[in-house]
Structure 1
Amino acid sequence: MFQPGQIKDYHALNTALDHLLAGEDDSVSHLANASSLLNYFLTDVNWVGFYTMKNGQLQLGPFQGLPACVTIPVGRGVCGTAVSEQKTMLVADVHAFPGHIACDANSKSEIVVPIKVNGEIYGVLDIDAPITNRFNADDQVGLEAFVQVLEKHLTAATV
C-alpha cells in the first residue's frame, strides 16, 4: 500500500478507509480509526480529529494530537466557520484568520471539512499543521473524498 507519512495518493487512502470501516456500525469507532489513519499517513501535521455537533455547538470527538478545545460555537474559529458556511475551510496561515481559536500554539495552517449525515451537519474533520501553507487544493479534494467515504459509513452506523 504506502508507508507512514508518505501518502501521495488519496484514492488509496480513501479505499483503505472504506475497507477499514466496512462491516462496523459504531460511529465513535469510525471517527477514531479515521483520525488514526490520517495521522499515521499524512506528513507535517500536528493534530487530526473530529468535532461533532451536540446541543448546537461543536463538541470534541476522537482525535490524534495534543489535548484540544472541548467545545466550539458555530461561527467561531475555522471549525465553527466551516459549519456556519457549510464548506471546506483551507487556511494557509491561521494567525491571519479572524477569530482563530488557538488550541495548540504550534499550529500554523489548517483544513476543516464539514461532515453531513442525512443532509444535516454531523460535525467536521479538522487537521492542523505546524507549518504555514501545508494544505493545498489537492489535499482539499482528497480530504473531501475521504469525508464522503466516512459519511457513507456514518449514515449506516447505529451509534
Structure 2
Amino acid sequence: MFNVESYTDNLEKNYQLVIKQLQALIEDEDDQIANLANASALLNQFLDDTNWVGFYLYKNDQLILGPFQGLPACVTIAIGKGVCGTAAKQRKTVRVADVHQFPGHIACDAASQSEIVVPMIKDGQLIGVLDIDSPNKDRFTDVDETYLEQFVETLVNYI
C-alpha cells in the first residue's frame, strides 16, 4: 500500500540532499553561467517526470534564455507573458497543473503538460526565473514548490 507520509518524507529528504549538493557545486565558483548550468543539470538529474529544466535571465526588460537541460526553447519571453513572464511580473512562484488551461501559455515543447516557475530575486531585484516543465499533468506538488523555492534561494546567494 502506498504511504503518502513516507513518500513525502523521502521526497523532502531528497530535496534537502540536492540543495546540499548544489551548495557544494557552486560555493567556490563565482561565474553565474557556470553555476546556473550546474544547477539545471543537477535538477534535471534529480527530478523525475520532467522534460525541461532551466533558467531565463532578466535582461533589457525581458526574460532571455539561460542555461537549461531539454529541447531547444523560446529565446525571449516578455514580462507578464506565459507562465515564466507571469511569475517574473508577480515575483512569486507559479505552479500550473495543466498548461493548456493557462491563458497565454507559451508552448516551447508540445510535450509539456504542467509547469512550475520560481522567480529569482536578489537584493530586491528580479534576476531571472527557474522554469521546469513536465510531460505529466499536475506533476508539481506543494513539496516541490517549497523546496524549489529553497533551491533558488540557495542558488541566488551564490550568483
TM-score of the superposed pair, with normalisation by structure 1: 0.92
Q: Does 1:68 align with 2:78?
A: no
> How much is the aligned-residue C-alpha RMSD, in angstroms?
0.8
**Which structure 1 residue ranges, 5 or more long, are not aligned?**
1-6, 155-159
**Residue deviations 1:56-99 (CA, integer Å, cap 9, x gap):** 00000000000000000000000000011110000000000000
SS of alignment partner, residue 17 of structure 1:
helix
**Residue 142 (structure 1) aligned to one of 143, 147, 151:** 147
**Residue 31 (structure 1) aligned to one of 30, 36, 40:** 36
Q: Partners in 2 of 1:17 and 1:149 — Cα distance?
A: 8
How far 1:116 sits from its partner (Å)?
1.0
Q: Which runs of 4+ in 1 moved over 2 A?
A: none
How far 1:22 sits from its partner (Å)?
1.1
**Residue 115 (structure 1) aligned to one of 117, 120, 124:** 120
Q: Does 1:85 align with 2:83?
A: no
% identical equivalent positions: 58
Amino acid of the structure 2 residue aligned with 1:144: E
Q: Partners in 1 of 2:100 and 2:139 — Cα distance?
A: 14
SS of alignment partner, residue 136 of structure 2:
coil
SS of alignment partner, residue 157 of structure 2:
helix
Q: Give 1:42's aligned residue.
A: 47
Aligned length: 148
TM-score of the superposed pair, with normalisation by structure 2: 0.92
Amino acid of the structure 2 residue aligned with 1:37: L
Q: Give 2:63's aligned residue.
A: 58
Q: Give 2:5's aligned residue.
A: none
